[in-house]
Amino acid sequence: MADLALTGVTERPSRWRLASARGGARLWLGAALVAVLLLIAIFAPLLAPHDPVEQDLMSAQLPPAWMTGGEWAHPLGTDSLGRCVLSRLIFAARTAVEVAAIAASLAAAIGIAFGLLAGSFGGWIDQGVSRLIDVWMAFPPVLLSIVLAAVIGAGLTSVVAAIVVVDWTRFARVVRAETLSQLQRDYAAAARVLGLTRGQILRFEILPNLVPLIVTLIAVEMGIAVLVEVILSFVGISVAGDTPTWGGMIVEGRQIVYQAPWIMALPIVSVIATVIGFNLLGDGLRAALDPVHRQ
Amino acid sequence: MRWGEIIRRVLLIPPTLAGVGLIVFVLLRVVPGDPIAMMIPPGASAADIARLRALYGLDQPILQQFVVWSGQVLTGDFGRSISLHQRVFELVLARLPATLELALLGTVIAVLLGTVVALIGAYLRGRRAEWAIDGGVGLLLAIPDFLWALILLLLLGVILPVLPISGRIDPQLDIAFGTNFYLIESLLTGRLDVAAALLQHMILPALALALPFAALVARLLKAQLAEAEDQDYAQVARARGFSRPAILLRDVLPNALIPTVALGGVQITLLLGGTVLVERIFSYEGIGNMAIDAVINRDFPLIQGLILTFAVLFIALNLAVDLLVTLLDPRLRHG
C-alpha cells in the first residue's frame, strides 16, 4: 500500500472565508450599499433633520445648502411645498425597504410553493402550473402591474400586491427546474430508499439545497420592487398621501424640473444606488453560495 | 423553427387574445374607481347617472358586457372612450404611429450600438480593457429604460439643455402631415429639416429605450463572436494572414448574428413595453402615454383597446423574430 502523504495537509480555511473570496468585490460592494440603505431605513427618525411631511411654504424650493440661496437648516433644499428634501429621502428609504422586504418575501413564498409542487409531483400538477406560468409571462409586466394597482387602489398594499402577483413566476420557474434536477440526484434517491416521505425529502433534502438560489433571487427581487414603486408613482397609484417615496418625489420633481432639478435628481440617485446594490449583492451571493463551486 | 411550428403559433393567436381580453375585462370591472363618477358634473341626479351607466352598458352583468364587447370587437368596433368621447379605434390608430416610430428608432440605435460594443469587446478579448467593457454593459443592463429616460432628461435636457424634453414636435412649427408616421413621411418626401426637428424630440426617449437593449445585444453577440472566432474557419483565416478586424467583420460576425437574433430577438417586446413609461416621462404623444391617462381616468373601453393593441404587437413581434431566424438560418429552412 502506498503511503498516503498527509504531512502536506494544512488546516482548511473556514467556509465563510472561502465563500466571501468567491463572492469577490461585487459581494462586498453590494453588501455595503444594502447595509447603508438598511441603516438609513432603521434610524430614519434619528437621521432626518425635519419631519418629512412638515410644510413650510415660506421656504419652498430652496436649493441645496452649498448653492446660492441655500441654507444649512435644509441641507439638500426643500420641495415645492417647503418640505425638507433630505428628510423625505431618508424616510422614503424606509418605505422602499418595507415594500421591498414584504413584496420579495411574499413573492418568494408563493413562487417557492408552486415551484416545489410542480417540480416534485410532476404529471398534471406540473402541466397545470407550467401553463399558468406561461400565460402569466405573456402579459407585459409594466401594464399588468399598472392595471392591478389600479384595481386595488393606491396604497402600500397595492404596490406590494402588484409586485407579488407579477413576479411570483420568477421564483416558481427557477424552483421548479431546480427541484426537478435535485430529485434526479443520488442523495434524493437514497432518501427515498431510507423511507422518507415526499414531504420529508422536500423539507430536509431538497429545500436546503435551494437556499443559495432563493437568497440570490430575493436580493434581485428587492431591487425590482423598488423600481416597481417608481413605476406605479407615475400612474399616481403608489403609496398614498403624504408618505414620502422615491417614486413620488421623482414624479413631483418632473413637474418643476427646470426650476428645481435637484428635487428629481436626488431620488433618482437613491433608486439607482439601491438597485445596483441589490443587483451586485445578488450576483455576489450567487458566486459565493453556488453549491457547484463549493468544495 | 419549422413551418409547421409557425402555423401552430399563428393558430394560437386568437385564443391568446381572447384570454388577454377576458382577464383585462374582468379585472377592470372590479376596480373601485367609477368612470361615471369622474365624468358627471357635481349635482347630477340619480336618474342622470343611471342613464349614463346604461349608455355605456355598465349596468349589465360582467359576462354579458364581455360578450357584447367581444362581438363588437370582431366587427372592428372597440367602443367609445369615456374620457375623450371619441371612438377607441380611431384614437389608438391616430397615436399608434408615434409609438411605432419611437420603438423602431430605439431598436435601430440599440442594434447599431450593441453590435459596435460587441465587436470592440470581442477584439479586446483577454485584455484588461475587456473587463471595462463587460462592467459597462452590466451597468447598462442593471438600470431599466425609464430610469435612463430620467437620467437623460436631467443631463441633456436640463443641466446641459441641448435637446427638448417633451412632446413629439415643436408646437410652434405648424407643419401639415398626410399620415401620422411623421418621421417616415418627412424622410420619404425629402423634408429633411422637418425630420431633423422630429429627431431632436425623439432622440432622448429612443436612446433611453435603446440603452438596456443595446447592452443585451452587446452581451449576447460578444459571447457568440468569441465562440465563432474559436472555430476552425476563423483559425484558418488567421493562419492565411488576414487581420483580426477583417476576420471578425467578414467571417465571424455573420455567423454570430443568427444565434444572437434567436436568443435576444424576443426581448424587443421589452423595449416596446418600455414605451409606456418613457413616453410618459417625455410627454410623448404615443399609445403608452395614452394608456397611463386611460388608467388614471378609469376609461375602460380605451384601456381594453390599448391592452389588446399591445398584446397584438407583442405576438406579432415574437412571430416576426421566429420567422426572421428561420429565414436567416439555412439549416432550419428545410428542417
* Domain positions in chain A: 25-44+62-289
Gyration radius of chain A's alpha carbons = 24
* Contact in structure between B76 and B89 (CB atoms under 8 Å): yes
3-state SS, residue B305: helix
User: Tens digits of per-residue pLDDT, B52-106?
Assistant: 777 777 777 778 888 888 888 888 788 888 888 888 888 999 899 999 999 999 9
What pTM was computed for the model?
Answer: 0.82
Burial class of residue B114, CB neighbours in 10 A (0-12, 13-18, 19+): buried
Residue with cell 500500500: A1
User: Tens digits of per-residue pLDDT, A176-208?
Assistant: 888 888 888 888 888 888 888 888 888 888 888
Mean pLDDT of B234-256: 84
User: What's the farthest any 2 CA atoms get from each other in chain B?
Assistant: 88
Q: What would the CATH number be for the domain defined by B92-287?
A: 1.10.3720.10
Tell me which chain A residues have a C-beta less than 8 angstroms from the C-beta of B139. Answer: 276
Q: Which among A135, A140, A257 has CB closest to B158?
A: A257
* Contact in structure between A111 and A97 (CB atoms under 8 Å): no
Q: Which among B143, B154, B296 has CB closest to A236?
A: B296
Task: Reply yes or no on whether the pLDDT at B35 is more than 70.
Answer: no
Query: Which whole-number Å values give the CA distances from A240 to A95, A153, A245, A268, B104, in the listed order?
Result: 12, 9, 9, 20, 36
Which contiguous run of DSSP H or E holds residue A26?
helix A15-42
Task: Reply yes or no on whether the pLDDT at A294 is more than 50.
Answer: no
Mean pLDDT of A41-68: 78
For residue B335, give the nearest of B81, B4, B34, B38 by alpha carbon. B4
* Contact in structure between A214 and A108 (CB atoms under 8 Å): yes
Q: Which among A235, A250, A279 has CB closest to B150?
A: A250
- Measured distance CA(A93)–CA(A40) in Å, rounded: 7
ipTM score of the complex?
0.78
Tell me which chain A residues have a C-beta less than 8 angstroms from the C-beta of B277. Answer: 142, 231, 234
* Domain positions in chain B: 92-287
- Residues in A lying within 8 Å of B, measured between beta carbons: 135, 138-143, 146-148, 150-151, 153, 227, 230-231, 234-237, 250, 254, 257-258, 261, 264-265, 268, 271-272, 275-276, 279
- Measured distance CA(B277)–CA(B292) in Å, rounded: 8
3-state SS, residue A165: helix
Burial class of residue A221, CB neighbours in 10 A (0-12, 13-18, 19+): buried
For residue B115, give the nearest of B227, B264, B236, B272 by alpha carbon. B264
* Contact in structure between A171 and A104 (CB atoms under 8 Å): no
- Measured at the CA of A168, the angle between CA A162 and CA A174, to 5 degrees, comes to 155
Cross-chain residue pair A235–B274, CB shorter than 8 Å: no
Instruction: Specify the CATH architecture of the domain A25-44+62-289.
Output: Orthogonal Bundle (1.10)
Range scoring the smallest mean pLDDT among A30-34, A192-196, B110-114: A192-196
- Residues in B lying within 8 Å of A, measured between beta carbons: 16, 19-20, 23-24, 27-28, 30-33, 139, 142-144, 146-147, 150-151, 153-154, 157-159, 165, 269, 273-274, 276-277, 280-281, 291-292, 295-296, 298, 303, 307, 310-311, 314
